[in-house]
Every structure is written in C-alpha cells, then in structure tokens.
C-alpha cells in the first residue's frame, strides 16, 4: 500500500487558539465585550497549549480582548497583531448571562439563531469573519497563520472556512485553550484538526 502523504496546500495553513479559562467562561456566561481575566487554570491552559503549537508563524493575529492577548503571550505567540475582527461576538443585552438565564426570558434562544437584543446578528459576525478570512487567504500557499480569539467567533471561522453559514458553528464545540488547524485537501478548504487540548 502507498503512503498517505499530505497534499501540498493551495493556500495558507491556519492555526486557531481559543483563550484560556476565565471565571465567566467557566460559569457559562456569555463574554463578548467585557474584559475578564484568565483564571489560574486559564493561565496554565494557555502555557500547556504551547505544546500543540509550532512557531514561528508567518502571521499572528490576536483579538483585542485582554484574555486573548494574555493567552497568546503565555502560549508563545506574543507580539501578534491585534485585529478587531477577531473580537468575540457582541452579545448586547445578553452580555454576562448564561443560556439558561436568557432562555428564561426568551424560550428557545441560541446565539446562532437569536434574537440579538442590542448585539451583533449572525450576519454581522459573518461579515467580520469573511473580512478576516479574506485577509488570511491573501497569504501565499503554505504560509502559516495563527489566530488567537474566542469560542463563538472561532467556531464561526471554522464554519466559514468550509463554506458553511455562521450557524454551522454550533456543531463545532471548542474548549478553552483548544487548538485547531484549518488546511487544504486538493483545492478544498478542510478542518484538519479541531478542539485539540494538551
């Protein structure tokens, strides 16, 4: 039998890193624009995530939120460029609340289907992610890109990478400080690895 060799990439290879645990992520509270620090566990997770990374990268982009920037530093990806398109979903009136709390007021609510009271819609987030991916895809074939951001945002990145709507991200569970890789098979964009934790 022949060896199963990896295909040559037709575009950049993209590594995703979600920030480490915060008190709000641990408690299931939607954390969009609020600045919440990593817990001691989150800091340890970020350091451990470095074992799954393979620097140097040709381009490192980081969310403007402190929890993502600290995670990048602890994981060995410090010095990356802050990109506002990597900020987490703006949850508007639902900021800081759990899904159960929101559903007590809005039965059947989900971040994927809304409603989005005073926050970003799925279409808003899609526009941001598509702009981000256009920037990433402008990199040459084989370039290595790292994106450090947030749970819902990176799930939308995964969905859009494979041509799915933002709502497709609901199928891509993503733990704190998890690492993913987006790549290529022939000329198709594929998920090479998802939700890896050390």
Rg over CA atoms, the chain: 17
Pick the catalytic residue from 30, 88, 150, 152. Answer: 88
CB half-sphere exposure, 121, CA atoms < 13 A: 4
Q: Report how far Cα 80 is from the mean position of its chain's Cα atoms.
A: 15
User: Is 35 assigned a catalytic role?
Assistant: no
Residues contacting residue 192 through CB under 8 Å, at least 6 positions apart? 13, 181, 182, 183
Q: Is residue 88 flagged as an active site residue?
A: yes
Count of other CB atoms within 10 angstroms of residue 100: 9
Integer Cα distance of 86 and 53 in angstroms:
19
**CA-CA-CA-CA torsion for 86, 16, 13, 59, nearest 10 degrees?**
50
Q: In whole angstroms, what is the distance from residue 151 CA to residue 118 CA?
A: 20
Q: Are 32 and 1 in contact (CB under 8 A)?
A: no
**Where in the sequence numbering do the catalytic residues fall?**
19, 88
């Amino acid at each position: 039998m022949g060896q199963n060799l990896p295909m040559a990439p037709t575009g950049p290879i993209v590594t995703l890193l979600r920030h480490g645990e915060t008190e709000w992520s641990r408690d299931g509270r939607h954390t969009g624009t609020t600045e919440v620090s990593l817990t001691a566990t989150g800091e340890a997770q970020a350091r451990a995530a470095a074992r799954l990374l393979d620097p140097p990268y040709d381009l490192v982009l980081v969310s403007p939120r402190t929890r993502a920037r600290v995670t990048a530093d602890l994981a060995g990806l410090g010095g990356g460029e802050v990109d506002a398109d990597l900020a987490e979903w703006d949850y508007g009136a639902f900021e800081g609340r759990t899904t159960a709390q929101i559903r007590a007021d809005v039965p059947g609510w989900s971040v994927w289907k809304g409603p989005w009271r005073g926050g970003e819609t799925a279409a808003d987030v899609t526009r941001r992610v598509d702009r981000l991916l256009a920037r990433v895809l402008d990199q040459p074939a084989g370039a290595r890109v790292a994106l450090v951001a947030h749970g819902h945002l990176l799930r939308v990145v995964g969905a859009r990478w494979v041509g799915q709507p933002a709502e497709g991200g609901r199928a891509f569970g993503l733990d704190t400080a998890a690492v993913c890789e987006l790549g290529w098979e022939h000329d198709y964009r594929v998920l090479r690895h998802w939700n890896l934790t050390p």
